[in-house]
Amino acid sequence: MPELPEVEVTRRGVAPYLEGQVVSGVVLRHTGLRWPFPAALSQTLAGRTIRSTGRRGKYLLIHFDHGTLIIHLGMSGHIRILPLDVPPQKHDHFDMTVGNQVLRLTDPRRFGAVLWHAAEEGTVDHHLLLRTLGVEPLESLFTAQWLYSQTRGRRSAIKQVLLAGDIVVGVGNIYASESLFRARINPKTPAHRISLQRYERLAQAIREILAAAIEQGGSTLKDFIGVNGQSGYFQQNYFVYARSGEPCRICNAPVRQIVQGQRSTFYCANCQK
């Protein structure tokens, strides 16, 4: 599943092909993805100039003067920039033609989204899907003090609090396990019992791990462009994620796997207290 780093790398990859360019049309090859495509989207966008791109959590934002196109990659979606004459494949449900290229969204499972937020409804941060999101982990509002103050009343396990997304966005299943390992915090620890000092380690771990993933993904940028492009999901050298039973890279104890909120968590019981 695309996580925050994949979406940010996608944004950086497609931005040079979009920003300042005029949309000439939209092709929809399905009624919708998770939700129906916006009505008359081609009329809404044709002839309009893309001003900038952005990202909020795992939502890719394409800003126009009169509103914002919101794209989510769902479970299995990816975006490429292609020449106009590349024929669509089975799961290519959305094209936006920009200059002499096309932004193409491929989404086999159709859990993604393409939505329109008109400027007259206010800033896109007010969109139903965006307004409850927590702070961005790579921006200055995300601090240990923020994590600490927001978790004083939260008795759930820290792993699940991170995944909930209402305090900080974009720390998905992989990065939650990896960040808690790097901060040496047991994922089962109730969030309200973690000290400010330990949250300092966790905030730093989250920032470092996400930044490293984005940097690593940047080296695969070319994969977003061109006919043979791959999805750009990064295979990293994880410390604990998906390493159940394998030796901890620090202490050699076997990595444990548990289920929290129906999601697998990986950790080292020896290193993480």
Give the Cα separation of 268 and 184 in Å (integer). 9
Query: Which residues, 6 or more positions from 197, have their beta carbon under 8 angstroms from its beta carbon?
Result: none
Give the Cα separation of 246 and 236 in Å (integer). 16
Nearer to Zn ion, 154 or 198 (CB): 198
Least Å distance, CB 221 to Zn ion, is: 34
Structure tokens at 61: 């934002």
Give the Cα separation of 23 and 187 in Å (integer). 46
The site string for Zn ion over 89-118 (x = CB under 5 A, - otherwise) reads: ------------------------------
Q: Which entry of 11, 58, 80, 198 is annotated as an active-site residue? A: 58
Nearer to Zn ion, 12 or 188 (CB): 188
- Residue with smallest beta-carbon separation from Zn ion: 248
Does the footprint of Zn ion cover residue 183 (CB under 5 A)? no
Residues 154 and 188 sit within 8 Å (Cβ to Cβ): no
Tell me, yes or no, if 88 is annotated catalytic. no
Query: Which residues, 6 or more positions from 257, have their beta carbon under 8 angstroms from its beta carbon?
Result: 244, 245, 264, 265, 266
Give the Cα separation of 18 and 220 in Å (integer). 19
Nearer to Zn ion, 86 or 269 (CB): 269
Residues 114 and 38 sit within 8 Å (Cβ to Cβ): yes
Least Å distance, CB 11 to Zn ion, is: 35
Tell me, yes or no, if 246 is annotated catalytic. no
Chain length of the chain: 273
Q: Which of residues 214-273 bind Zn ion (CB under 5 A)?
A: 248, 250-251, 253, 268, 270-271
107, amino acid identity? D
Least Å distance, CB 250 to Zn ion, is: 4
Tell me, yes or no, if 247 is annotated catalytic. no
Structure tokens at 201: 């380690």
Nearer to Zn ion, 183 or 248 (CB): 248
Tell me, yes or no, if 263 is annotated catalytic. yes
Least Å distance, CB 220 to Zn ion, is: 30
Least Å distance, CB 183 to Zn ion, is: 13
Least Å distance, CB 268 to Zn ion, is: 3
Residues in contact with Zn ion, total (CB under 5 A)? 7
Nearer to Zn ion, 76 or 270 (CB): 270
Nearer to Zn ion, 12 or 249 (CB): 249
Q: Where are the alpha helices (DSSP H) in the chain?
A: 4-18, 41-45, 144-150, 158-164, 173-182, 196-218
Look at the alpha carbons of 131, 134, 137, 140 in this order and tell me if their dihedral is positive or negative: positive
Residues 10 and 112 sit within 8 Å (Cβ to Cβ): no
Q: Which residues carry out catalysis?
A: 2-3, 58, 263
Interface residues toward Zn ion, by CB under 5 A:
248, 250-251, 253, 268, 270-271
